[in-house]
Amino acid sequence: MQFVSSKLPLVMVSLKRFELDKLIRKMEIIKKNEISMTTKHDYDRASELKAFDETKDGVKGLVDASVTSIPRMFHHEFDKDSTSSSSNSHKLVIPSIDLVDIHQDPTRRKIVVEKIREASETWGFFQIVNHGIEVSVLDEMKNGVVRFFEQDSEVKRELYTRDPVKPLVYNSNFDLYSSPAATWRDTFYCFMAPNSPNPEDLPSVCRDIMLEYTKQVMKLGNLLFELLSEALGLDPNYLNEMRCNEGLALVCHYYPSCPEPELTLGITKHTDNDFITVLLQDHIGGLQVLRENSWVDVSPVPGALVINIGDLLQVTLHLLLVILMCMIHVTVLPHYNITF
């Protein structure tokens, strides 16, 4: 039997607070040195990354500490196409497809299939409405993500890890030590299928809705693969029988309020390395897709889900579908999104 002090948790909390204060002071010194025209050799990026990671408080920890300028590790060098905002971009809108009555009306289903085919070939992105998932479920999933990230820091630190085989992984920037610049986001994710996690391994503040939302998205995924199969001129069961619908990862991103959003990003430009992505945005959004050399805003639509054709679908079927680059901006307001 071991005897431990009941005050130990308070000591540990104080230590974490002290580490965060040290990190902030160090970042302030770095900022002052930059103003004093320091050279690149004067900046110890590795130490800054390590100090940030060891707090286990993520980007939200910096915001909670009231930083007024973002650390240098988050600064991005933007190329021309990342900041393009030509007038043409304001005229482009990603397709929105209404799935109402597709199970009852064969004619309506054919119209929807044709719209999905056209959207997949020209955009690689589209939004869907009347998809069968109740708005109350979508809202509760978003609320569950907020509850997770608004938990006390001590609770979240217990879950913070860079071990990808953990049942649930929570950290800031999975590629923190390998990317050219860190992004302004914190994330938790969990593989929900084909092997369902033990419910006890999921955060209590959002456990029930994670399981319910997963069930609903799995059902929607089966439908989407049916419609995509038909759009490709294949048997409706083709993609499901290829088991494209079996693997499912739930990824929840949180983008805290940023004091200098013009210097950083929430997610850098990329394509998704999956079959399809089902994205639930909050009311702020931030998602952009690159089309015709312009970054196009994917404006949030209440009750809608964004569908993104992924690299694996393209490669597996040797298709000529469009795979567009996308990225997510941060703002002075906190926002979040959920993807499968």
For position 294, which CATH number holds?
2.60.120.330
The answer as to whether 1 is a domain residue is no
User: What pLDDT sits at residue 245?
Assistant: 87
My answer on whether 174 and 56 are in the same domain is: no
Residue 171, Cβ neighbours under 10 Å: how many? 19
User: What pLDDT sits at residue 172?
Assistant: 98
Interatomic CA distance for residues 246 and 241, integer angstroms: 10
| Matching residue, tokens 């990003």 | 265
Interatomic CA distance for residues 144 and 125, integer angstroms: 26
Q: Which of 74, 94, 125 is the last residue of a domain?
A: 74
User: What pLDDT sits at residue 32?
Assistant: 47
My answer on whether 102 and 59 are in the same domain is: no
User: What pLDDT sits at residue 185?
Assistant: 96
Kindly state the DSSP code that residue 108 receives in the 8-state scheme: H
User: What pLDDT sits at residue 43?
Assistant: 83
The tally of domains found in the chain comes to 2
The boundaries of the domain holding residue 292 are 80-339
User: What pLDDT sits at residue 75?
Assistant: 96
My answer on whether 177 and 308 are in the same domain is: yes
User: What pLDDT sits at residue 272?
Assistant: 84
**Which residue stretches of the chain have pLDDT < 70?**
1-41, 79-91, 317-325, 340
User: What pLDDT sits at residue 291?
Assistant: 85
User: What pLDDT sits at residue 240?
Assistant: 94
308 within 8 A of 95, measured Cβ to Cβ:
no
From the centroid of its chain, how far is CA 14? 31
User: What pLDDT sits at residue 87?
Assistant: 43
